[in-house]
Amino acid sequence: MLIDRDGAQKSVLAILLNEAWRAHIEECCVVVCPGDEELYRAAAGEYADRLHFVTQETPRGYGHAVYCARDFVQEQPFLHMIGDHIYISDRAESCAEQLIAVAEAHSCAVSGVQPTRETLLPLFGAVGGQRVRGSQELFAIDQVIEKPTPTQAEQTLLVPGLRTGHYLCFFGLHILTPRVMELLGSHLESQSGPIALSPVLNELAQQERYLAVEAHGRRYPLDVRYGLLTAQVALALSGQDREEVLANLCELLAQRQPGNRQ
């Protein structure tokens, strides 16, 4: 549980669902392990009645989990949200709203990205491409690599205009086209092991227009060291209790100064 920007205690799932509702997504599908439906329904709180569940009967990877929702999306473009990230926009529009606006304007798949230093490459998928002419935040993707090494990134994922040692890594939000489900299905038929999503997105970039947008905001992965703590601080500093939280943090830091230890 986290304290959201409105000061209310909420589950991570409820915070993510609020992100979707703000973007005018009326129905959401959650892919779960068999038997976990009621746990997630309880965690959804006020949004529970708008949820659909599908189960991933066999653990065949992240790409397979996405494919499990194929009947729910029904040949339509869809918003895909990573369940272990918190997204905080620095604009009036939520991060999901920003992506949807780009997808509607350009009628293509769009992934959110964030310039990320190379020491964090083991945590994210990354993209290479070129800036779209006339835009500072849009990129035409030509390659996707999951968790590249610094050498791989330097050789294939350099994007003009980024700071040295930084690469465009996935933000955790995607607007994907039905073609993604077709490609995932083909991989599942031809492979027996786990199916990843990034290789499929790389194929998508070779077959149709696929854009990346530098979201105005930050993503906070929860599955890293101090991830929950960092996300909670970020939520608090962007919410209604910002002044109180800042005062408490300053007091805490002051207590840790030499000579003030108790």
Distance in angstroms (rounded) separating the CA atoms of residues 8 and 20? 18
Per-residue pLDDT reduced to its tens digit, 43-65: 998 889 889 999 999 989 999 99
Q: List pLDDT tens digits, range 164-212.
A: 899 999 999 999 999 999 999 999 999 888 999 999 999 999 999 999 9
Q: What is the pTM of this model?
A: 0.90
- State the pLDDT at residue 87: 95
CB 118 within 8 A of CB 184: no
Q: How many CB atoms lie within 10 A of CB 70?
A: 17
CA distance linking residue 251 with residue 198, whole number of Å? 44
Structural domains in the chain?
A: 2-242 (3.90.550.10)
When pLDDT is cut at 50, 70 and 90, the band that residue 260 belongs to is low
Of residues 82, 77, 162, 161, the one with CA closest to residue 117: 162
Does an H or E element contain 177, and which? none
Q: What span, in angstroms and rounded, lies between the C-alpha atoms of 64 and 188?
A: 8
How far apart (Å, rounded) are the C-alpha atoms in residues 141 and 130? 7
